[in-house]
Amino acid sequence: MKKYMNLLESKSLIEKMENNQFDGKKQETLSFIEQIKRSIWEYGAFLARNTYAEGQDREGKHLIDEEAEDLTEDLKSSFLTTAYGEKSIVQQLFPKYSFSFDTYFNDETGNDNFEDESIYLALFMQLKEWSKGKSFDQLLQLIQGDRTVQRTIQMIVEEIGISKRWSVTPTANHYLVFFFHLLKQAIHDIRFYSEKHGIAFEKDAETRCFYNVLNLYIHYLAVHGKIKLSMKEREVIFAAAALHPVQDDYLDHSEVTEDVKNAIEDKLKGESVPFINDEADKIFRLIDIIYNKFPVKKHPYLLTIFEHLHYYQCESEKQKEIGIEEEELLDVTFMKGGYAFAFFGYIAQGEMTIPQFSHYFTMGAIFQVLDDFHDVEEDMENGTQTVWTKAINRGENIDAVFDATIKLQLYYEQYTSVLENFNYPVIIRKIELFGIRYDVLRFYSMHQGYFSPTFKKEMEDCFPFPMENVRKVFQSTYLYESLDTIDEILTEGEKMLTD
């Protein structure tokens, strides 16, 4: 993708300069830059579509391999060259006093058109309407109904008696309604399909499954624009969300032999495998659910992503080696996380071009680093090597690792401004930008003790409220993070909103 970007950017800049249109005006310059970014990705998508058939003929393997390797090298280069104490890198992610929900959903530079973009779904309901005696359950029923988006909007407008004009500007409260619905549905589906398929989770695997389901729901919605997913769609989303944590935990067991790993690999290829044990059979059942929706012969890209994900899940055993080099550690981290998100992206999209793969892979690589940050204390206890634990074991604070992680995210945001084939690229972009900042803030709050006083002061300066208050909130819930706890919080929130 880089050669395509450079080619198009150079050509566009030259033409612009030759026409004397690059006159230095700030707003026009920024607009021009955004046009270039969009053109780059449209051009890349065009090239990817033309090579898609070639990729299918070659089982998609070489194109994906090459892209994953290039992305990993770029990410490693960015991560390893971040200088300690690089000034203002935190402020680049959190511009001073601008971190708010509305900032990422209501800025004037990227709003989707309200009339045309059904991503807003049923979120236009003002919370104040509930105080007028409207039933919360009835409103949720409208959201969940199996009908077109526009008809759903019309019914909600009629139900709550607001103007039928399509000029309402969504606020944070509007999005809260739909997000609440997603959370409740995710919890329901995990419990329902876990029981149906006999899937028992270990440790925090159920919580990880929950966040995976939520991620898939949001991206599925952005791709297809559907308010209500069918039971079959929700079942395959559950299987995809559960597979990664279930397989991860199983492979962590020391008694898992090479024969078992090979059997899982054969299953991923669509081959029949004999019964091994109950734990392995859980993995096989989840794979069967996915392949019922995505047959192997019709989805070679998925097979390739699946195989690579399994390979790097097995490779992550190297993280138990104290002497593992940082570059090799980053290879495993980026590849494992990148292929995991590429897998989720394929489930959401139903197909995948190379630009789409790049988007998901890069996002997944960064989230894997953040996930390791979340688990830093558990990894310290278990002797698992990550970029975070290696710094701590060297007696260092983790300022530089945190700076490098932020730099990765800024790199990602610079090169993935528009994603082809998303019906709602602007809103999904905002969700991703808000989500990454939320996780960075949450995980930082949980582990402030590993940072230097200078860094903590720099972080504090980004926000108009004391970070100590944020720390108390996140640390008080950290130990109790479970599906039951999340459900209890949602139930309490529902009572508060409907009282």
Q: Is the pLDDT of residue 25 over 50?
A: no
Distance CA 248, CA 260 (A): 13
What's the CATH code, domain 60-120+176-498? Answer: 1.10.600
Contact yes or no for 427/112 (Cβ under 8 A): yes
Q: Is 37 helix (H, G, I), strand (E, B) or coil?
A: helix
Q: Percentage of the chain with pLDDT > 70?
A: 64
8 Å CB contact between 409 and 436: yes
Alpha helices (H) along 198-230: 205-224
User: Are the C-beta atoms of 425 and 37 separated by less than 8 Å?
Assistant: no
Output DSSP code: residue 84: T
pLDDT, residue 163, reads 41
Given a contact cutoff of 8 angstroms between Cβ atoms, the answer to whether 329 and 387 are in contact is yes
Question: 49-102: per-residue pLDDT in tens?
Answer: 444 433 444 445 678 888 888 889 888 888 887 644 455 577 777 765 444 434
The better pLDDT of the pair 250, 129 is held by 250
Characterize 371-400 residue by residue with b for buried, 16 or more Cβ atoms within 10 angstroms of its Cβ, and e for exposed.
Answer: bbbbbbbebeeeebbbbbbbbbeeeebbbb
- DSSP labels, 279-308: HHHHHHHHHHHHHHHS-GGG-HHHHHHHHH
Contacts of 37 by beta carbon, 8 Å cutoff, 6+ apart: 417, 418
pLDDT on residue 45: 43
**Per-residue pLDDT, 370:** 92
Give the mean pLDDT of the chain.
73
Longest dimension (CA), the chain: 71
Coil, helix or strand for 171? coil
| Residue corresponding to tokens 């047959």 | 295
Which is more confident, 44 or 392?
392
Residue with tokens 């055993």: 317
Instruction: Give start-end residues of each CATH 1.10.600 domain in the chain.
Output: 60-120+176-498
Confidence of residue 31 (pLDDT cuts 50, 70, 90): low
- What is the C-alpha to C-alpha distance for residues 252 and 408, in angstroms, rounded to an integer? 28
Instruction: Kindly indicate the confidence band of residue 138, based on its pLDDT and cuts at 50, 70 and 90.
Output: low
Query: Looking at the predicted structure, is the pLDDT value of residue 405 above 50?
Result: yes
- Model pLDDT, residue 173: 59
Look up the pTM and report it: 0.72
